[in-house]
Amino acid sequence: MASPILVYGREGCAMCHHFMQACKKAGLAAQLISIDSDAGSEQMFSKARAAGILGPGGSIGLPVVEAYGSVMLRPSIEKIKKLRKVQGLPPPQRAAAGGGSSGPRQDAALLFKTIDRNDDGVLSHDEISNALSDLGYTDDEITSLVLALDTDSDGVVGREEFEKGWLHFKLYQKFGKGKGSQPTIVLQALDELNNARRNPQAYAASLKPMLTQFEGKRFHRAGRITLLTQEGKAAVQEAIVFLEKQKSLPPLTLSPGLSYAALDLLQDHGPQGKTGHTGSDGSDPFQRMSRYGQWGGTAGENCAYGGQSGKEHVDQLIVDDGVASRGHRTNIFNPKFLVVGIAVGGHTAYGTACIQDFAHTYREADSDAPVPPDMPVETDAPSREQAAAAAAIQRKHRSNAAKEVAEGMRQDKQILSNGQGAVVEAEGAITPELEAAMGELPDDYKKSIKQGLADGLTCRITTVTKGSVMTIKVKLWGARCTMNMEMRITRG
């Protein structure tokens, strides 16, 4: 008998769960080894290092799979089957589908196994709630259905209860329609991004009610903590003017691979209450995007915090309060961006975070991978302690800006001394040298730079060319903020 496939990952990792389910469907015996334990983590990194699949700075994505003498990063099931064949082993036997023709009851039995993540033979209310929310059920619908399914009120739903409820409430109709549907808040954010791109004038109208919620720079929200903004209603008014003049753009397509790249940052920063675009492993957005596929043309990343719906996250990024260059808004309305990945989940300081990774094109490493589910989010409003923690993080983030600028200047000098690129800087006004360095940038980026300089900011553009890839880094900074933009262009 063949040894089981060893899958190094985490229970909460959607990509790991997808791979385990794919193995099960293909009849391949697989064992998940948690890297949350020291032993599991040491095993994974030791084997990954020996196989030469570690990324920059020793980083690596999940899952790492050991099968039939090979250690691989996110292999396809077809690759696993080929390795099995090389070993002279017989083809795997697919799991039985229950015999006979498929129908609602058979579908219910299969779905029960899928929802029962811990294989204990019963469904907890949380397991059912997560499955239903991923298919677009509202909180009220979920509560009613969970209570109705749990006919004996013992706190769990058995197989027979689930199958009877499946038929009685015609849940199969909802699950059938929802096949392939995306997580609720992720889908909301995608819809709002595309609403803004397709019809910016209508989106401008949706922002106008926000103007009545300001008292100076304080933004009041019913039943929630008041936000202290940097610009007050002026930023919202400016966003409305922009949207009313903005041309319609094609909608963005949701990418699973880019969504996993966004999820990597969310799962890294969320538990630590961090902000920004650099991962704890030193990774930048472009390295994370490259873990799950190949991006082409140009790419960028947005991070929003504290929203309770997809629209709140997108509103925040379009208004872009306190960001002189309006760089987040520029990403949303960049005509070269055609695909996006989105991850939404909890954040210990701000309550929630929404990460958006954009690209012109993206070739998925795993075309069968689903978009990852929303991560757990606390339903209660942030406490005073959370609000204080958020304010402390903001202060720390701003105080680090000067250090980042100094470090950037040191790196730029190193680039120049090595003859790898060019650095151009200007303050308060555009120069011919800066104008030339802006040549490859999108028009929206150029507009943001010119506006930032007019506002008294300093701009530095660093261009580095390695082989066929040219990286252009733009930094705008001044009294109010520091803004970073980065674009990569692949030639030939």
Helix or strand run (H / E) with residue 149: helix 139-149
Instruction: Enumerate residue ranges in the chain where pLDDT < 70.
Output: 1-3, 12-14, 56-57, 92-111, 131-145, 147-148, 151-153, 164-184, 366-413, 415-420, 478-484, 491-492
Structure tokens at 327: 């760089």
| pLDDT on residue 311 | 93
- Cβ proximity of 313 and 344 under 8 Å: yes
- From the list 82, 66, 75, the residue with the least C-alpha distance to 29 is 66
Average pLDDT of the chain is 77
275 burial (CB, 10 Å; 0-12 / 13-18 / 19+) is middle
Is pTM, for the whole model, over 0.75? no
| pLDDT on residue 380 | 44
Query: Which residues, at least 6 apart from 230, have a Cβ–Cβ distance to it below 8 Å?
Result: 217, 321, 322, 480
| pLDDT on residue 491 | 65
164 burial (CB, 10 Å; 0-12 / 13-18 / 19+) is middle
Query: Which residues, at least 6 apart from 145, have a Cβ–Cβ distance to it below 8 Å?
Result: 128, 132, 137, 165, 169, 171
Distance of CA 335 to the CA centre of its chain: 20
CA torsion 187-193-197-198 (nearest 10°) is 30
| pLDDT on residue 134 | 54
| pLDDT on residue 276 | 86
Return the percentage of the chain with pLDDT > 90, whole number: 19
| pLDDT on residue 178 | 34
| pLDDT on residue 71 | 92
Query: Which residues, at least 6 apart from 164, have a Cβ–Cβ distance to it below 8 Å?
Result: 151
**Bridge pairing between strands 458-466 and 469-477:** antiparallel
- Cβ proximity of 229 and 316 under 8 Å: no
154 burial (CB, 10 Å; 0-12 / 13-18 / 19+) is exposed
Helix runs in 199-255, H state only: 200-207, 233-245
Question: Which sign does the torsion angle of CA 274, 280, 285, 288 carry?
Answer: negative
